[in-house]
Amino acid sequence: MTVNEFQNAIRQGIPDVLPEVKPFDKNINHAPKRKDILSVTEKKLALKNALRYFPQKHHKILAKEFLEELNNYGRIYMYRFRPDYKIFARNINEYPYKSKQAAAIMLMISNNLDSIVAQHPHELITYGGNGAVFQNWAQYLLTMQYLSEMTVQQTLVLYSGHPLGLFPSYKEAPRVVITNGMVVPNYSGKDHYEKFNALGVSQYGQMTAGSFMYIGPQGIVHGTTITLLNAGRIISKNNEDLAGKLFVSSGLGGMSGAQPKAAVIAGAIGVIAEVNPKAIATRKLQGWVDEVFSDLNLLIERIIKAKLNKEHVSIAYHGNIVDLWEKLAEKNIKVEIGSDQTSLHNPFAGGYYPAGLSFDESNKMMANEPEIFKEKVYESLRRQVTAINALTSKGMYFFDYGNAFLLEASRAKANILRTDGSFIYPSYVQDIMGPICFDYGFGPFRWVCTSSKSEDLDYTDALAVSVLEKLSKDSPSEIKLQMQDNIKWIKEAKKNKLVVGSQARILYANAEGRIEIAKAFNKAVKEGKISEPIVLGRDHHDVSGTDSPYRETSNIYDGSQFTADMAIQNVIGDSFRGATWVSIHNGGGVGWGEVINGGFGMVIDGSNEADIRIQRMLFWDVNNGITRRSWARNNGAIFSIKRAMEKEPGLKVTLPNIADDNLINSLF
């Protein structure tokens, strides 16, 4: 298809003549059948809802077809309307547009739906099983059409993927405002989601799926690397690095698969157990796993050698993590850092494979004998905790990786609780991400080169290094290490070959770092050193973006971790300070009803106006969360916000007075 034909297809929106029915492509990874939750009356409503996108002349054919989709897949995806052109992040000028900002947004949408990026591209799911960009193909077609015709005097409004329309606004306003899955709080249970989604009135946007900010696996590798480097610091006695130190965990799946790659980047020896041979094969092929062992004795010999030679190496153990932990404890191997990334948020339906059963035996038992299977899972967790406890008693540092390991182990009655009912091990946000990164403003800043050229990405990498090296010279000791980690990361980013899809980069930076890097990019675009505008953004899993009491805000201890003022304020504040698009979501990472999170995208085009937007919006986007964390009495955040006030006279925040515990305790 020529560029012209592609542009015409976008401009056309929903075609007036029905396209041919598309055969179901078995080579594509499809979403599982969703729960059949609607009553007959509700199914009728779902059909009427879907038909709203099409003229009446097509209703007879489409009504029947959509009912089949609803019955077969649990949702109406409108497969017939999936476009014939290839969807991927093209050069920005290939999109038809009146506003270049809108073209950049089309590029970002396209990347989220690219079949090499998205998990279930035909169901418009980018990642996490149900992280939707749109609910159906009509919404995609209509949104792209609106974006192609919108001017800088208009704003497109998206309700959970549904394009409500273009509304008059003004040049500096966001071009798109997105809400995903927002419901009245009492209606936020899992079945509410299933029902509203099946009716076609709401969707689960995950974090970066429905906000058009996903950049492939790079994000998770960087986050895991940062976590490991900081875990290394927690255990370091004389400022030594991770050379020769052993990190043991489980899982080579979607997110967990980043562990071996991150271990090598962090300079450790990573040994990861995985029961599924397919998951091991994928990671080996990708180069994220160097070696595979299925014999535990040979593996132990290999570990001893790797420790002796201080190798940076990643090893997969094909087998059960429980067997690995028990062997390590039995052979008295020193494990410095341990964690677990089996999918224990889903323990009885394939997320956790119990020891003592083969992979196939487990798959059969969980379907045929679910009660016995549940017992096997609990028994296995008890064994796992016993072995882990033996190793932590000899000095291993163990943390929960946000996968509900501690929670499920406690339900299994494993020896994992203190007498006061709290867990004996911390979560990664409580110990690492919160106090070391988020409280100081460090979070997953990212950018995308809209030329889609790797030369532009190389140029941005070099600029980011020079900005961070300059800032690092004057950094206070509290954040020196965070700066150094990111300089190391960005210097090695190209070598690590992490780009999948759009030409994108992630980097943990604080407010100052983000602002200075963005300004350097803007200058380079202005001078023509970068050929097309840059899109700035971030993961919602950040300093200010996400209120999630057991994850992003789990190190908030003033009782406010169940409130969501921060995320809501963030997105409102970003929208009038210069974001090109903003989004706010119910659900993401830990589930519908469990989290509120928001984010932004900002197109910087080399203009002076872009410089102003960078300064205004990025400053707020980070310091909102730091101020909230400081009010919660988090020391790092108090330090950071005082420093920010010294530098920015316009900032004046309410600081907490700290009550003396002895005084409080004396009253009881």
Ligand X SMILES: NC(=O)c1ccc[n+]([C@@H]2O[C@H](COP(=O)([O-])OP(=O)(O)OC[C@H]3O[C@@H](n4cnc5c(N)ncnc54)[C@H](O)[C@@H]3O)[C@@H](O)[C@H]2O)c1
How many whole angstroms separate alpha carbon 532 and alpha carbon 515?
A: 19
Candidates 90-98, 253-261, 566-574, 637-645; binding stretch for ligand X (CB under 6 A) = 253-261
Nearest approach, Cβ of residue 450 and ligand X (Å): 28
Residue 275 interacting with ligand X (CB under 6 A): yes
Candidates 342-350, 416-424, 502-510, 641-649; binding stretch for ligand X (CB under 6 A) = 342-350
Q: Which of 454, 545, 443 is nearest to 504 (CA)?
A: 454
Nearest approach, Cβ of residue 482 and ligand X (Å): 18
Q: Using CB under 6 A, which residues numbered 288 to 327 contact ligand X?
A: 320-321
Residue 276 interacting with ligand X (CB under 6 A): yes
Residue 253 interacting with ligand X (CB under 6 A): yes
Name the DSSP class of 453: -
Residue 402 interacting with ligand X (CB under 6 A): yes
How many whole angstroms separate alpha carbon 256 and alpha carbon 274?
A: 10
What six digits make up the tokens of 60?
């007879």
Query: What single string gives the DSSP state of each residue in 117-158?
Result: T-SBGGGTEEETTTEES-SSHHHHHHHHHHHHH--TTEEEEE
How many whole angstroms separate alpha carbon 259 and alpha carbon 246?
A: 12
Candidates 269-277, 297-305, 463-471, 652-660; binding stretch for ligand X (CB under 6 A) = 269-277
Q: Which amino acid is at 386?
A: T
How many whole angstroms separate alpha carbon 177 and alpha carbon 584?
A: 9
Q: Which of 366, 380, 353, 381 is nearest to 273 (CA)?
A: 353
Residue 575 interacting with ligand X (CB under 6 A): no
Task: Tell me whether residue 242 or residue 530 sits nearer to ligand X (CB atom).
Answer: 242
Candidates 46-54, 250-258, 520-528, 553-561; binding stretch for ligand X (CB under 6 A) = 250-258
Task: Tell me whether residue 185 or residue 350 sits nearer to ligand X (CB atom).
Answer: 350
Contacts of residue 219, Cβ cutoff 8 Å, sequence gap at least 6: 208, 444, 446, 506, 539
| C-beta atoms surrounding 298 within 10 Å | 10
Burial (CB count <10 Å: 0-12, 13-18, 19+), residue 148: buried
For residues 632, 633, 634 and 637, what is the CA-based torsion angle, rounded to 10 degrees? 90
Burial (CB count <10 Å: 0-12, 13-18, 19+), residue 348: middle
Task: Tell me whether residue 408 or residue 512 sits nearer to ligand X (CB atom).
Answer: 408
| Beta bridge mates, 597 | 546, 585
Q: Which of 111, 155, 403, 510 binds ligand X (CB under 6 A)?
A: 403
Candidates 35-43, 260-268, 397-405, 435-443; binding stretch for ligand X (CB under 6 A) = 397-405
Would you tell me the crossing angle of helices 359-368 and 370-392 to the nearest 10 degrees?
130
Task: Tell me whether residue 255 or residue 637 sits nearer to ligand X (CB atom).
Answer: 255
| C-beta atoms surrounding 289 within 10 Å | 26
Residue 224 interacting with ligand X (CB under 6 A): yes
Nearest approach, Cβ of residue 205 and ligand X (Å): 16
Strand ranges in 527-623 using DSSP code E only, listed in sequence order: 534-538, 546-547, 581-586, 596-604
Residue 444 interacting with ligand X (CB under 6 A): no
Nearest approach, Cβ of residue 63 and ligand X (Å): 37
Residue 427 interacting with ligand X (CB under 6 A): no
How many whole angstroms separate alpha carbon 619 and alpha carbon 649?
A: 13
Task: Tell me whether residue 356 or residue 417 sits nearer to ligand X (CB atom).
Answer: 356
Task: Tell me whether residue 223 or residue 601 sits nearer to ligand X (CB atom).
Answer: 223
Residue 341 interacting with ligand X (CB under 6 A): yes
Q: Which of 218, 343, 450, 555 binds ligand X (CB under 6 A)?
A: 343
Task: Tell me whether residue 7 or residue 282 sits nearer to ligand X (CB atom).
Answer: 282
Candidates 18-26, 111-119, 339-347, 624-632; binding stretch for ligand X (CB under 6 A) = 339-347
Q: Which of 223, 244, 501, 636 binds ligand X (CB under 6 A)?
A: 223
Residue 510 interacting with ligand X (CB under 6 A): no
Q: Which of 143, 203, 256, 510 binds ligand X (CB under 6 A)?
A: 256
What length is written for the chain? 668
Residue nearest to ligand X (CB): 253
Q: Using CB under 6 A, which residues numbered 165 to 204 contact ligand X?
A: none
Task: Tell me whether residue 195 or residue 383 sits nearer to ligand X (CB atom).
Answer: 383
Residue 233 interacting with ligand X (CB under 6 A): no
* Cβ contact 75:32 at 8 Å: no
| C-beta atoms surrounding 593 within 10 Å | 17
Residue 225 interacting with ligand X (CB under 6 A): no
Candidates 153-161, 186-194, 348-356, 526-534; binding stretch for ligand X (CB under 6 A) = 348-356
How many whole angstroms separate alpha carbon 415 and alpha carbon 413?
A: 6
Residue 220 interacting with ligand X (CB under 6 A): yes
Q: Which amino acid is at 12?
A: Q
Residue 598 interacting with ligand X (CB under 6 A): no
Contacts of residue 512, Cβ cutoff 8 Å, sequence gap at least 6: 441, 471, 647
How many whole angstroms separate alpha carbon 300 and alpha carbon 280?
A: 19
**Which chain residues interact with ligand X by CB under 6 A?**
220, 223-224, 250-256, 273-276, 279, 320-321, 341-345, 351-353, 401-403
